[in-house]
Structure 1
Amino acid sequence: MSAESTPEPAIPGETGTKGPSGRAKGRRRKPRDKRKGLLIMAWTAAGIVVLGGTGAGYLYFKLNGNIKSVDIDQALGTDRPEKADNGSENILVLGSDTRSGNNKKLGGGADDGSARSDTAMILHVYEGHKKASVVSIPRDTLIDRPDCTDTDGKTYPADSDVMFNSAYTTGGAACAVKTVESISGIRMDHYLEVDFSGFQKLVDKLGGVEVTTTKAINDPDSHLNLEAGTHQLTGKQALGLVRTRHGVGDGSDLGRIQLQQAFIKALINQVKDINLFGNPKKLYDLANTATKTVTTDSDLGSVNSLMSFAGGLKSIDSKNMTMVTMPVQYDPADPNRVIVAESQAQQVWTALKNDKPIPKSATKGTAKGDASSVVTP
């Protein structure tokens, strides 16, 4: 029997696993507390401590066995930027669109096993872990990809003028990390990846995420149809929102990034709003789903490591999180592609290297996407 079909053990004081959870329509929501939280993993991993403290040691080992990891450091070797010694951390977060298994019907396309980094964000956590910056990298950015080696030891030659998301397709996580380090000159301390199927499951386990749309969104390609107004998005709808690019803004990947950033802020609010620590059963269900659907670097590939990582993130206030897109301009030769605005991008990388705030001048006059006001958390 597979892990998916095996009945889950009971939490002390609770019964075994039931069906997918969700919030009933029309239910009055409690006032939001936006003070803490950054990522789903920050809360679910920290919550494992609670589970362990109740004597559910078996659950600890089960969750530990769920986690998939890749040895990025071994694949990349020593030819990398130096680690920062200023107390900051840099984490590459990828959303992948693997075209196989459960992801085929979610991502579209042929079931050929191919994958791209549909979403890529550099999360910079400042010294003291009280604030953070997120830099989204457009998937359609034309870049020079460095030579790289994947985690199986296969090497790939460098290539020029290729789309950023092809790095993941070429050599997986290791090649994606090396490409980001090549572009930014900043070492990635950690790596986290969530695929389409996993993202949808996580949102459903949370009971949905509330957002407000200022305009109607109708995109058959991402299977999303929302009227203007406030919505409690299901996992399927949330996935459609973070993937849509038609019918919002200028129809580019840059507009989609703005929707993704707005959704992340809503997600942060939602994680705190549902009071996970007051509901051991819900906490376990979410932790079980999260650890099954994320892939990490080997340094984060255990419950203990994730707990330590979570402890450094959970005090970050969403109001102290800056979200920008890597400075780019539309490619004059192809409006469906963008190119790095080198001088302004360098302002971003210099700020992060020195653990400083990203200056507003870094993104002034760059291509935006014109969808920033379409969705509000």
Structure 2
Amino acid sequence: MRQSSVRGDRTRRRRPDAQDPAGDGPYESGLPPDAPGWTPPPGSGSVPPDDDGGSSHRKGGRPRRRKGRKVLRWTAISLALLLVAGAGAGYLYYEHLNSKLRKDRRDLSAGGLKKPDPNAFGQSPLNILLLGSDGRDNKENIKLGGARQDADRKPLADVQMLLHVSADRSNMSVISIPRDTRVPIPRCTDPRGGKVYPQTTAAINQSLQHGGPGCTLATWQELTGIYIDHFMMVDFSGVVEMADAIGGVPVCVDKNIYSHDSKGHGSGLRLTAGTHSVKGVQALQWLRTRYGFEDNTDIGRAKAQHMYMNSMVRQLKAGTKLTNPGQLRDLAEAATAALTVDDGLGSVKKLYDLGGDLQRVPTKRITMVTMPWQYGPGESYVVPKPGEAEQTFALLRNDTALDGKDAKKKPTPAPKASTPKSELKVIVQNGTNSSVSGPVAGRASVIQQQLTGLGYTAADTDSALSTQADTTVSYPDKAGRGDALALAKALGLPDSAVKESRSVSEVRLVVGNDWRTGTEYPKQQGDDKAADKAPESADALNGEDKKACMKVNPQYTF
């Protein structure tokens, strides 16, 4: 596999890989199609190839397409915002747009997680996987993405972001994963032809070639332990039109920049120091630029895309753009033509409802991060950073905002147990099933026997297997919280493992994949001090940060 260049302090040669061709993929400049007011914009999900087609992470080497996909994802979000803004469209026009939406299915054969129970107020978080595809499946995509030789190659998902909206819709978190991240890709079945792809370990962007977006969703669930409700995927086409229709998005550079060198590297972006409103081809250049930002790697490019997306969201939510019905119509036409969604989002009405829901999130509570990463052996790829990547995933699994503001909520005093241990009805279930590692046989019985030794003699087991990242103790109503907390304490589980659930009639202990061996619950990363926000390595950017400015690499200034 090709070398990664997350950092550009050193130049690394990467071996050409048929799975990672030269040109970079489209970026998602807009907002995910699930953002408030989503109106299928014309070009909402399309971005041209990488500035130099370089690899997403590496400093040198062949061009990569990761950026474009990120842009595409955000284009989708802006679509949601736009749809709310243009709610006056008639029924027939909606039907016309519906017919243009492409739909795909999630791969149920890959196994998966159970959707979490609603909270005590009946609210559920929402997770949407946003993908940018680098497919060269038509003349426009080839024109934007280049690499005509890749026209017959299956597309890669070079841009991948998970959009998490809290259950109470008070905040939104977006986490992106570098496309070179090496992960287990589960056994997947292509829903369109039935072809079965065996389990493997490879760059996460290759998961799209193992059965479509449904397999990428399954890969994300396996990696993060987060249940994902929907996916949205966009290709190259339409980004220029989208940027033009919006009328320009303000971006900032701290020095003059010209993304071009004698070797042909660069997107061609040329700006003087300060803030500029970019649109059309220039907006695409911004989203694709790797050579010229920070250390000339895909990490800097991702940050530039985050800045662009935040700026676009602020404008759309403020209602300062796209007030012209003709502009909205053009955006809707291009966006629906560029989007591929799962069956659960397969209509403009559903996207519209989703957009209205997302519009409730204040801009100041939007946080965008990159998964904490580190180089793998030989620095030819990256892997999730031990501890810190899992910490970030766990925050989203527990519906905790990455900005740390949830920590300011006043904790509820813990009630005392009201039922004697010997009389407390406890059901233990094995939740260690995994589409990659498989389940640990007899796990429920082992922990049930441990509970009996601790005095919980009424504990029993449920033979059904489930899939869960974290070990949890669920209770049916407020009266049972004290008993559930006491049980968790006896096993060494944190209070965060205790959750109220309307789907249980007694205390239920599900042994998750974080406790696959032994009778003593393993100490987790961050147990000494509870993690309440994304780690520094996630490089968080707040949606209200109007002072954010990209650092220009000294080699690409003038």
Percent identity reads 36
Matched residue, 1:331: 376
Matched residue, 1:93: 130
Cα separation, 2, equivalents of 1:201 and 1:39: 16
With 352-361 and 144-153 compared, the bigger mean Cα shift is at: 352-361
Q: Which of these residues, 99, 102, 105, is aligned with residue 68 of structure 1? A: 102
Cα separation, 2, equivalents of 1:184 and 1:308: 27
Q: Do the aligned partners of residues 46 and 83 (structure 1) sit closer, same or farther apart at CA in structure 2, a change above 3 Å counting?
A: same
Cα separation, 2, equivalents of 1:366 and 1:123: 15
Q: Which of these residues, 214, 234, 240, is aligned with residue 279 of structure 2? A: 234
- Report how far residue 365 of structure 1 moved: 4.8
Matched residue, 2:536: 364
Higher relative contact order (CA 8 A, sep 6+): 1
Matched residue, 2:83: 45
Cα separation, 2, equivalents of 1:119 and 1:272: 24
Q: Do the aligned partners of residues 360 and 373 (structure 1) sit closer, same or farther apart at CA in structure 2, a change above 3 Å counting?
A: farther
Structure 2 gap ranges (5+)? 1-41, 44-74, 119-123, 403-530, 541-547, 553-558
Considering fraction of residues, name the structure with more helix: 1
Matched residue, 2:550: 374
Cα separation, 2, equivalents of 1:144 and 1:289: 35
- Report how far residue 157 of structure 1 moved: 0.9
Structure 1 gap ranges (5+)? 1-18, 21-36
Equivalent pair of 2:188/2:199 in contact (CA under 8 Å): yes
What whole-Å deviation, never above 9, does each CA across 1:190-248 have from its counterpart, x for those lacking one? 11112221333322222222212223141444343333222222232222222222222
Q: Name the SS for the 2:161 alignment partner.
A: strand
Matched residue, 2:343: 298
Equivalent pair of 1:51/1:280 in contact (CA under 8 Å): no
Q: Name the SS for the 2:127 alignment partner.
A: strand
Equivalent pair of 1:218/1:226 in contact (CA under 8 Å): no
Cα separation, 2, equivalents of 1:279 and 1:259: 28
Equivalent pair of 1:217/1:228 in contact (CA under 8 Å): no
Cα separation, 2, equivalents of 1:78 and 1:144: 12
Match of 1:353, as an amino acid? R
Cα separation, 2, equivalents of 1:365 and 1:204: 34
What whole-Å deviation, never above 9, does each CA across 1:82-103 have from its counterpart, x for those lacking one? 1122410100011121133212
Q: How does 1:1-377 map to 2 (within 5 A)?
A: 39-47=77-85, 49-52=87-90, 57-72=91-106, 75-77=107-109, 79-86=111-118, 87-101=124-138, 102-109=140-147, 110-114=149-153, 115-152=155-192, 153-160=194-201, 162-215=202-255, 216-219=257-260, 220-273=265-318, 275=320, 278-334=323-379, 337-358=381-402, 359=531, 362-365=534-537, 373-374=549-550
Higher-Rg structure is 2
With 230-239 and 124-133 compared, the bigger mean Cα shift is at: 230-239
Q: Do the aligned partners of residues 38 and 176 (structure 1) sit closer, same or farther apart at CA in structure 2, a change above 3 Å counting?
A: closer
Equivalent pair of 1:140/1:337 in contact (CA under 8 Å): yes
- Report how far residue 297 of structure 1 moved: 1.0
- Report how far residue 169 of structure 1 moved: 3.0
Cα separation, 1, equivalents of 2:206 and 2:533: 29
- Report how far residue 65 of structure 1 moved: 1.4
Q: Name the SS for the 2:212 alignment partner.
A: helix
Q: Name the SS for the 2:99 alignment partner.
A: helix
Q: Name the SS for the 1:346 alignment partner.
A: helix
Match of 2:163, as an amino acid? L
Cα separation, 2, equivalents of 1:228 and 1:281: 34
With 196-205 and 177-186 compared, the bigger mean Cα shift is at: 196-205
- Report how far residue 265 of structure 1 moved: 0.4
Q: Do the aligned partners of residues 113 and 224 (structure 1) sit closer, same or farther apart at CA in structure 2, a change above 3 Å counting?
A: farther
Following TM superposition, where does structure 1 have runs of at least 4 consecutive aligned residues deviating by more than 4 angstroms?
273-278, 359-362, 365-368
Q: Do the aligned partners of residues 58 and 366 (structure 1) sit closer, same or farther apart at CA in structure 2, a change above 3 Å counting?
A: closer
Q: Name the SS for the 1:196 alignment partner.
A: coil
RMSD: 2.7
Count residues in correspondence: 331
Equivalent pair of 2:250/2:278 in contact (CA under 8 Å): yes
What whole-Å deviation, never above 9, does each CA across 1:10-30 have from its counterpart, x for those lacking one? xxxxxxxxx99xxxxxxxxxx
Equivalent pair of 2:317/2:359 in contact (CA under 8 Å): no
Q: Name the SS for the 1:312 alignment partner.
A: helix
With 340-349 and 106-115 compared, the bigger mean Cα shift is at: 106-115
- Report how far residue 354 of structure 1 moved: 1.1
Equivalent pair of 1:140/1:338 in contact (CA under 8 Å): yes
Give the TM-score taking structure 2 as reference length: 0.55
Cα separation, 2, equivalents of 1:147 and 1:174: 11
What whole-Å deviation, never above 9, does each CA across 1:10-64 have from its counterpart, x for those lacking one? xxxxxxxxx99xxxxxxxxxxxxxxxx9921222333453223xxxx32122112
Q: Name the SS for the 1:333 alignment partner.
A: helix
- Report how far residue 276 of structure 1 moved: 5.7
